[in-house]
Amino acid sequence: MIEPGADAPDFSLPNQDGDEVALADFAGRKLVLAFYPLDFSPVCTDQLSLYQEVLGEIEAKGASLVGISVDSKYAHRAFREQLGLTMPLLADFNPKGEVSRAYGAWVEKADRGNRSLVLVEDRVVRWSYAAPSPAEIPGANLIFDALAG
């Protein structure tokens, strides 16, 4: 997992609508990257639904939140619609997992992203967390603690 104090790896990924979203788009704001394995899996559904519930509070603290997985923009669009999500979902699709790997949010054996959170501000990693198990959802309290720190 990427360590606090590291330069945040640059990225530009398509969102659910095919629009490119880059790290530079969040200049002057705190950005929470929520890495997750796959759209439509039960635990990922719970994870993203939880973050949607508190998204307004995250934004009130001056932060943006985006989800990142290896799913395509098409899967992301359907997943957002099914769950009523408003946060952008970025497709780390091609090359598969390149951004997830750069942030240390990748499980090689499983060939998928890990459940991880990274707080970036001014292009620097301020905080990071990797779930010890794929079944464990990083709670919203972790995000709020990081934003308060």
Tell me the CATH number at 78: 3.40.30.10
4 within some domain:
no
- Specify if 129 maps to a domain: yes
Neighbours of 85 (CB within 10 A): 18
pTM for this prediction: 0.97
Q: Is residue 2 part of a domain?
A: no
Could you list the pLDDT tens digit for every one of the 149 residues in the chain? 999 999 999 999 999 999 999 999 999 999 999 999 999 999 999 999 999 999 999 999 999 999 999 999 999 999 999 999 999 999 999 999 999 999 999 999 999 999 999 999 999 999 999 999 889 999 999 999 999 98
Range of the domain at 113: 12-148
In a domain, 40, yes or no: yes
Residue 25 lies in a domain: yes
Domain-located, residue 1 = no
pLDDT score at 137 = 96
Q: Are 38 and 112 in contact (CB under 8 A)?
A: yes
> Which helix (H) or strand (E) element contains residue 125?
strand 124-130
- Residue tagged active-site, from 21, 33, 34, 44: 44
Total domains in the chain come to 1
Residue 60, domain member (yes or no): yes
**Residue 24, in any domain of the structure:** yes
Annotated catalytic, 138? no
